[in-house]
Structure 1
Amino acid sequence: MTDQPMYESGLIAHGIDTTRPSVARVYDYALGGKDNYESDRELYRQIMKIAPETPVWARANRLWLKQVITWLAAEAGVRRFIDAGSGLPTVENTHQIAQKVSTDASVMYIDNDPSVVAHGRALLLDNDRTQFTAADLTKPDEVLADPAVAGMLADGQPVALVMALMLHHIADYDETLEIAGRYVDALPPGSYLAITHACNPGDGGPVDVLVTELLEKVKGAFPTLAFRSVEQISSLFHGLEVLEPGVVRLADWHVPGGRVEVDPQVGIRDAIYGGVAHKA
């Protein structure tokens, strides 16, 4: 791929540093996207030397997102979605998935990566039920005070909050727990929380060895990245009813009431775990 700068009024969008890798752009490249730069591709190549499963993880996370949003819209009857830490638009985004099920579904994207902001604003041009807010998700009080976010939560209708591959970019566990709890507290009764998160089981097994080496390689670019135990990830759903099959690796996840057949060799080094919970 060649550099494909993101433009705003004829210039590279304000705030985008093309010399430093971006989480959103590396993920975009893993999914086969074009909104990335050589700094992102170089880091991706380094990651692939350690974890050649990386594009599989990225695709599994997108499949999980599609399954979750479809189930929430079709089976749980949710019509309002907040995609927090949404990343760069790619094939089958949250609003496309939800609105395919129900045309009246409303979606709020939140991110503060300059690359994502440049694209997020474009979402407003052709979809009047999709909004984008440029905000720092580690500051929940500021995010929840945003008029667009507050408006979505105001009338007490259930909301699905999606935090896919977002919370593991907060280094401190206690801070992460506090931030997740603040958002959950703001959700109306009947809402849902969906999370995917990088995991280190800490058992000396293949995943432990893999992510320990991977974390060492990427810490210069992503110094706040934190792989957490299954117990720590599960605790982010504190006070909520975690739906079946619980907090599990993405290779083992399925929608409530569904089933998945998994070859025991597939995803043996899967370091991404996910879960969905309901707020009574």
Structure 2
Amino acid sequence: MQRPFVKMNGAGNDFVVVNALELPFTPTAAQVRAIADRDSGQGCDQLIAIEPSDRTDAFMRVWNADGGAVETCGNALRCVGWLLMQSTGKDRVTIDTLGGPTTAWRVPGPGRVGSGGPEGPTTTAHVKVDMGAPRLDWTEIPLEEAMDTRGIELQVGPIDAPLLHTPGAVSMGNPHVVFFTDRQDDAFVSGSGSLIEHHPLFPEGVNVGFANVLAPDRIRLRVWERGAGLTRACGTGACAALVAAARRGLTGRSATVEVDGGTLAIDWDETTGHVFMTGPVEIEHTGTLTLKDAPG
């Protein structure tokens, strides 16, 4: 079976997006892994399907590169939001996910989005999304046992001299822990993140953030994503990092979050309690998928 797709990224976090509004798209886990494979497939952090919804403009379904379905993805919400706004002519759309509904709208930003030519993709447009209120109770992350989510009982390394300890825990529709550290090299993030991702404390697994607070309004962040590994950006991870930092008094309620693929503006609104994320979207290319089983 063949299906058209759009390859997009949000601050470097890249996606293969399939329009399933009229024709269902139900890949197997093996097919997802084959599409996501960067050597033999299209290569992506997540595979996205845009499906019909009775209560919103569309439903966004997300699979991680390992083939597993997950609740939501912040950067993908911006990309899907832009596609829906382009196709409907609206300036604001609502997208449902397994993690709940989200509103996206256009904001002023440099450049425009277009397919790449010989010189590569065009400059980016900007989209803002309302990620909703963070879920902060231990049952909402979820954790295996009751803990204060401002700083949970978890550490990496020797008991008397841990390398990482007492991360904040936040759900942005998917589970996150955020360590505050200036250790952000690839080996450290990958080694520690892969160790924590499937820790028994997290019955649904967890995304692992490594946040270095540079100023009260600036955070440098790297994220080991559950089921995807080390990615160039994680939108829900950026939201979680700002919330976790603000709860510890390390930042205010708004900050620029620097990720490998660019920057995201995160604002935890005091009036509504919702977290708003603004950042770039970019189309890399279009093409056609040929669905076939991958080994394993």
Q: TM tier, shorter chain?
A: under 0.3
Larger RCO (alpha carbons 8 Å, 6+ apart) = 2
Taking structure 2 as the reference length, what is the TM-score of the superposition?
0.26
Taking structure 1 as the reference length, what is the TM-score of the superposition?
0.27
**Greater percentage in strand:** 2
